[in-house]
A and B are shown apart, each in its own frame.
Chain A
Amino acid sequence: MSNNLTTIMESSRLAGRSYVDAMIRSELTDAVGADYVSSNAADQLGHSIDYYWIPEMWHDRGRENPKAQYIVHPGSAEEVAKVLRIANNYRIPVTPWGGGSGSQGGALPMYGGIILDTKRMNKVINIDTEALTVTVETGMNAQHMEWAVEKKGFSTMHFPASIACATIGGFLAHRGTGVLSTKYGKIEDMVMSIEVVTPEGEIINTLPVPRHASGPDLTQLYLGSEGTLGVITKVTLKIHPIPQCRKFHAFLFKDMHQAMTAGANIMRSRLRPCVIRLYDEPETARLIKRVLGLDKQGAYLVFGFDGFESVVNLEMAEAIRICQRENPEDLGEEMGQAWWDHRYKFFYPPYMFHMPQAFGTLDTVATFANIEKVYWAMKNVVNQNFPEAAFIGHYSHWYEWGCMLYARFIVENPPRDPEEATAYYNRIWDMAIRAAIANGGVINEHHGVGLKLGRLMKDLYGPAFKVLADIKKVMDPNNIMNPGKMGFRGV
């Protein structure tokens, strides 16, 4: 935004609605309709806080979070294009917003401007029962999409904890994942094709199939771009038949290392579990006890298989055999099924962490050779520098080559002063994430980068970050799309 316009908009904000505000609002209204442009105080508040701890804490301590001047709800790619053209003309920052449940601050309107809320684009366009795909508008709530697909006898197999709150576009924007990712993949593995509105308002489509030798993969460029390169407005995703059965089994291992050996061996055997989840000893003692009632020392590991029952039984028997090599306590099917039945309960109040606690999810991913090193490096740096912080972790998404660590820190009484609390919180992140990077981890596995981790992108990518920054410059010359996120230039 030019300094001049910033000044005009700032004075208009201070003086109430000036004609500049009214003019821009008129253009936005012309683009999307009067019902779908708001500067309502309740809406501005609702769009000023996502699931990131900093704005939550800021609000809790009575501070005002930055707010968008306009919240728009376009109903189609064409309307998105109109909004982006207006924003380009006036150099107004645009922050895309789906469900608003991101934990990285990616949807926060940190420079004011426009919140482009995608939820009105919520239609199922087609369910292809031959190719087994669903095409939807990306503002659709993920649970609604799943219900729509299930009604036709299929499933997306995308079951994240945020299924009820996030839009499908949100998952695409930050490369989200679901609880069954070990078999069915992360969102980037599920995508066939996308429609995108570019920052300058052009509507483009990527190739209709995800496997080809027709140049670089444009689809994958947009996935994880967090609204900095455009707005994804439509997606075609793979869907699956609903499996004949899904079975679980749980074990309690003496320690996390033994459990990791068992889990890695299951993956190296090339069995195809739909889920493996391993909780370290502190999280087993803290959360598994609270939610599932298991009051024992050790590391809880659960896995599951789905598909034809005869195949599931065979795979299950082999996986059990692999685990038994480490001499765990067999908790049986019941404690495995209980975990599945309560898998979302961890995220509801009062089970989820809450104010005044400071908490963060340090999710990362590494190879089997590195993942325990990453765990210990992060844990040690947190314990040594922040002895008041608890550090817990589980491994929830497994690959043939490694797995994802969902580590969390919890501080019961962080500083009361918001600025001090922010600085303290950021120090934990900086040290823990740098420890992960130093040991072969990355800054994030499925929550994205957003505002929270942007400053660490250069640490992660090194000189390669310039390539990403240059792509952003070329694709969004006026820097209107979610500026200041992912480590890209701010306003």
Chain B
Amino acid sequence: MYSEKFTETIHACRFCFMCRHLSPVGNVTYRESDTPRGRALMLDKVLQQPQLLENPDFQSTIYDAELSAACRTHCVSHFDEAGLLLAARRDIVESEKVPASIRQVADSIKALPLTVKGEAKAELIYYVDRYTERHQPEIAVAMEKILKSAGIRFQMISGADTGKALSVLGYWNDAKEAATNFARMARSGEQKLVITSCPASYDSLKNDFPKYGIDLGKELEVLHTSEFLQRLVRTSQLPLGPLAIQSVFPLASDFLKNYNAGFKAHEELATLAGVTLLPFGFNREESYTAGEGGVVMDELNPRLVSKLVQHVFEQIDNPEQDTLLVLSPYTKYVLTKFAPKKIQLTTVEELIAARIKE
């Protein structure tokens, strides 16, 4: 079993309570099994009795995990429970005991074709993830406006997964195939840069592709749009007008914060753009992404995502006045869909695009 490779993590976490306050799912379901300790305990039991991996209660708990990795960042020894859960999901899939609901989501993702539009001799590729494409097209519209305004020739790839959603669901081999397809498409032109608004896809391109043996980095630089915009603003390639929004409350991304330690491009971009970042919630450790780490969590368990959104909503001091800077299209979508009242949401793309002089 792949989860056996995480035996040290299981043994470290199975009786340890030290990060449970940062468990987004546990904090809304109140279940012990939805905490890092509870999950490690359960997977320790699976090591003892492998047939328990087929137990529907165990499987649903494994797939309800939001994979924020806040626990890993918090832990003084950084034990990788997110990695453990991904391994457990892979064990479930490869033992062919995967629940039908999970298989359906995976099949629908696998069926998506990659589509390309834009100039063949572009300088960069803008990868548009599923949440931006389907639900939050204003993010891509804003980015297109920025690229055009900066005079950058670009190509847009959209549709299929880079492999992130499939790998998170436990479909490692399919994820590798999706990544290979993406890499083939991305390498076909003369582009030197891939940018994406989606932190999950960014993490996939940066960190998962090398695990599949795809060294995209040698040929193509990968940037999150906040990093790219930071460059544009710093080098004055954009004709910026006055600020539309003076201050925002950033909702950190799980993938940028906990999977790519030290990522601060959005903070530096805000400083360059003159936007004040105000602290959101009670602390900087908790995940306020409503399940971004789960990538397609709204498709797996919308009721749970609704509870996660309610928790985020409760942290907003003045829902009618405060603007939240959301770094993930997924989070923007689920906050829009599930919040009990309308929330003012923006993204780095929209913040900057709004300042471009027409």
A49 at the interface (CB under 8 A from B): yes
Interface residues of A in 11-38 (CB under 8 A from B): 35-36, 38
- In whole angstroms, what is the CA distance A46 to B79 when docked? 19
B170 at the interface (CB under 8 A from A): no
Flag the segment in A140-148, A184-192, A302-310 that touches B: A140-148
Q: Mark A31-74, 1 if CB is under 8 A from B, else 0.
A: 00001101011110111010100001001001000000001010
Residue numbers in A under 8 Å from B60 (CB-CB): 42
Q: Could you tell me if B30 and A73 are in contact, using CB atoms closer than 8 angstroms?
A: yes
The interface of chain A, by Cβ under 8 A from chain B, is 35-36, 38, 40-43, 45-47, 49, 51, 56, 59, 62, 71, 73, 97, 99-101, 117, 119-120, 139, 141, 143-144, 147-148, 150-151, 162, 164-166, 344-345, 347-352, 354-355
* Pairs across A and B, CB under 8 Å, 19 listed: A38-B31, A42-B42, A42-B58, A43-B31, A43-B33, A43-B57, A45-B45, A46-B31, A46-B33, A59-B44, A101-B17, A143-B21, A147-B282, A151-B282, A164-B19, A165-B17, A345-B76, A348-B75, A351-B76
Residue numbers in B under 8 Å from A148 (CB-CB): 282
Q: Could you tell me if A99 and B44 are in contact, using CB atoms closer than 8 angstroms?
A: no
- In whole angstroms, what is the CA distance A348 to B18 when docked? 7
B250 at the interface (CB under 8 A from A): no
Residue numbers in B under 8 Å from A150 (CB-CB): 282
- In whole angstroms, what is the CA distance A390 to B41 when docked? 28
Q: Mark B14-57, 1 if CB is under 8 A from A, else 0.
A: 11111111100001011111010110011011001000000101
Residue numbers in A under 8 Å from B200 (CB-CB): none
Residue numbers in A under 8 Å from B12 (CB-CB): 349-350, 354
Residue numbers in A under 8 Å from B61 (CB-CB): 40, 42
- Which of A35, A59, A101 is B41 in contact with, Cβ under 8 Å? A59
B13 at the interface (CB under 8 A from A): yes
* Other contacts beyond A46-B35, A51-B17, A73-B30: 8, CB < 8 A: A40-B33, A42-B33, A46-B42, A47-B32, A59-B14, A144-B282, A348-B76, A349-B11
B76 to chain A, nearest CB (A): 4
Residue numbers in A under 8 Å from B21 (CB-CB): 141, 143-144, 164-165
Residue numbers in A under 8 Å from B27 (CB-CB): 141
Q: Could you tell me if B38 and A349 are in contact, using CB atoms closer than 8 angstroms?
A: no
Q: Could you tell me if B15 and A99 are in contact, using CB atoms closer than 8 angstroms?
A: no
Which 8 A/B pairs are nearest by Cβ-Cβ distance?
Answer: A46-B32, A165-B17, A147-B282, A349-B12, A42-B33, A46-B38, A119-B30, A41-B57
A150 to chain B, nearest CB (A): 8
Minimum CB distance partner of B283 in chain A: A147
- In whole angstroms, what is the CA distance A175 to B155 when docked? 64
Q: Could you tell me if A100 and B57 are in contact, using CB atoms closer than 8 angstroms?
A: no
Q: Could you tell me if A164 and B18 are in contact, using CB atoms closer than 8 angstroms?
A: yes
- In whole angstroms, what is the CA distance A147 to B42 when docked? 30
Residue numbers in A under 8 Å from B29 (CB-CB): 35
Chain B contact-residue range equals 35 or more
Q: Could you tell me if A51 and B15 are in contact, using CB atoms closer than 8 angstroms?
A: yes
Q: Could you tell me if A100 and B41 are in contact, using CB atoms closer than 8 angstroms?
A: no
- If over half of B's interface residues share one DSSP class (helix, strand or loop), that class is named, otherwise mixed; here it is helix
Q: Could you tell me if B30 and A117 are in contact, using CB atoms closer than 8 angstroms?
A: yes
- In whole angstroms, what is the CA distance A56 to B41 when docked? 10
- In whole angstroms, what is the CA distance A165 to B77 when docked? 17
Known A-B contacts A40-B33, A42-B61, A59-B41; the reply to A347 vs B18 at CB < 8 A is: yes
Q: Could you tell me if B15 and A56 are in contact, using CB atoms closer than 8 angstroms?
A: yes
The interface of chain B, by Cβ under 8 A from chain A, is 11-22, 27, 29-33, 35, 37-38, 41-42, 44-45, 48, 55, 57-58, 60-61, 75-77, 79, 282-283
Known A-B contacts A43-B33, A144-B21; the reply to A350 vs B15 at CB < 8 A is: no
B57 to chain A, nearest CB (A): 4
Q: Could you tell me if B16 and A349 are in contact, using CB atoms closer than 8 angstroms?
A: yes
Q: Could you tell me if B30 and A350 are in contact, using CB atoms closer than 8 angstroms?
A: no
Minimum CB distance partner of A61 in chain B: B48
B236 to chain A, nearest CB (A): 38
- In whole angstroms, what is the CA distance A35 to B42 when docked? 21
Q: Could you tell me if B79 and A349 are in contact, using CB atoms closer than 8 angstroms?
A: yes
- In whole angstroms, what is the CA distance A148 to B317 when docked? 12
Residue numbers in B under 8 Å from A162 (CB-CB): 17
Known A-B contacts A73-B30, A117-B30; the reply to A46 vs B41 at CB < 8 A is: yes
Minimum CB distance partner of A165 in chain B: B17
- In whole angstroms, what is the CA distance A47 to B42 when docked? 11
Q: Could you tell me if B18 and A344 are in contact, using CB atoms closer than 8 angstroms?
A: yes
Residue numbers in B under 8 Å from A46 (CB-CB): 31-33, 35, 37-38, 41-42
Residue numbers in B under 8 Å from A348 (CB-CB): 16, 18, 75-77
Residue numbers in B under 8 Å from A147 (CB-CB): 282-283
B187 to chain A, nearest CB (A): 43
Q: Could you tell me if A164 and B75 are in contact, using CB atoms closer than 8 angstroms?
A: no
B122 to chain A, nearest CB (A): 46
Residue numbers in A under 8 Å from B15 (CB-CB): 49, 51, 56, 354-355
- In whole angstroms, what is the CA distance A46 to B20 when docked? 13
Q: Could you tell me if B33 and A165 are in contact, using CB atoms closer than 8 angstroms?
A: no
- Which of B20, B35, B45, B77 is A350 in contact with, Cβ under 8 Å? B77
Q: Could you tell me if B17 and A100 are in contact, using CB atoms closer than 8 angstroms?
A: yes
Residue numbers in A under 8 Å from B55 (CB-CB): 41-42
Residue numbers in A under 8 Å from B37 (CB-CB): 46
Q: Could you tell me if A164 and B20 are in contact, using CB atoms closer than 8 angstroms?
A: yes
Minimum CB distance partner of A352 in chain B: B16
- In whole angstroms, what is the CA distance A49 to B37 when docked? 10
A53 to chain B, nearest CB (A): 9
B295 to chain A, nearest CB (A): 22
A76 to chain B, nearest CB (A): 13
Residue numbers in A under 8 Å from B16 (CB-CB): 348-349, 352
Q: Could you tell me if A42 and B20 are in contact, using CB atoms closer than 8 angstroms?
A: no
- Which of A71, A351, A354 is B11 in contact with, Cβ under 8 Å? A354
- In whole angstroms, what is the CA distance A35 to B301 when docked? 14
A67 to chain B, nearest CB (A): 12
- In whole angstroms, what is the CA distance A355 to B16 when docked? 12
Minimum CB distance partner of B26 in chain A: A119
Residue numbers in A under 8 Å from B76 (CB-CB): 344-345, 348, 351
Residue numbers in A under 8 Å from B20 (CB-CB): 99, 101, 141, 164-165
Q: Could you tell me if A42 and B57 are in contact, using CB atoms closer than 8 angstroms?
A: yes
- In whole angstroms, what is the CA distance A351 to B18 when docked? 12
Known A-B contacts A56-B15, A350-B12; the reply to A42 vs B77 at CB < 8 A is: no
Q: Could you tell me if A99 and B41 are in contact, using CB atoms closer than 8 angstroms?
A: no
A47 to chain B, nearest CB (A): 5
- In whole angstroms, what is the CA distance A71 to B17 when docked? 19
Q: Tell which of B14, B21, B35, B42 has the most Cβ of chain A within 10 Å.
A: B21
Q: Could you tell me if A41 and B31 are in contact, using CB atoms closer than 8 angstroms?
A: no
Minimum CB distance partner of A150 in chain B: B282
Residue numbers in A under 8 Å from B35 (CB-CB): 46
- In whole angstroms, what is the CA distance A428 to B22 when docked? 36
Q: Tell which of B32, B45, B48 has the most Cβ of chain A within 10 Å.
A: B32
Q: Could you tell me if A49 and B31 are in contact, using CB atoms closer than 8 angstroms?
A: no
- In whole angstroms, what is the CA distance A206 to B6 when docked? 49
A149 to chain B, nearest CB (A): 10
